Amino acid sequence: METAFTTATPYSYWPTAQTSRPHSKVRFQLSTPSPLLSEYASVTPTPSSMAQPKLLLLGRITSDWVMLQPFLVTLEQEEDGYWVASDDLFQVYGDGDTAEAARQDYIVALIDYYQILALKAEADPHSEGLFRHLQHYLRPLA
């Protein structure tokens, strides 16, 4: 199964409150669009018998990033048809018009979260703890 992934390429990022959708979470958006990759298929749907669709991220998720441990992401479709991919551990989410778009946006947001925590880790003990925890799941490839 081949799927497309959004990568985190050189960019500038900034924290923004999501304004187009009513979410309580804060996410990070890219200032430039990232190219899509189709050679990686590291997201596996979990059994459809669950109440909400779930994705299991494991292994290479982009050309430059790898999930070191299985990581569960929930997919939800809102009443208006919009999709949200989110996790319960790091409170990161992605959204889009399709489940695939929400998944791709989620991966970009998770990578952005990693990079922001990496920048803040030296100066802030709380960010350092979050960063170390995230490093158990997500790492850039050398």
Give the pLDDT means over successive 10-residue stretches in the chain (142 positions).
Answer: 34 34 39 36 44 88 96 94 95 96 97 97 94 97 86
Q: What integer pLDDT is reported at residue 24 of this predicted model? A: 36
Q: Which residues make beta-bridge pairs with 69?
A: none
Q: What integer pLDDT is reported at residue 35 of this predicted model? A: 38
Gap between the Cα atoms of 105 and 29, Å rounded: 9
Relative to beta strand 26-30, strand 54-60 is unpaired
Gap between the Cα atoms of 16 and 63, Å rounded: 26
Q: What integer pLDDT is reported at residue 127 of this predicted model? A: 94
Q: What integer pLDDT is reported at residue 61 of this predicted model? A: 95
Q: Kindly list the domain boundaries of the chain, sorted by start residue.
A: 3-140
Q: What integer pLDDT is reported at residue 82 of this predicted model? A: 94
* Tokens at 123, concatenated: 């100066």
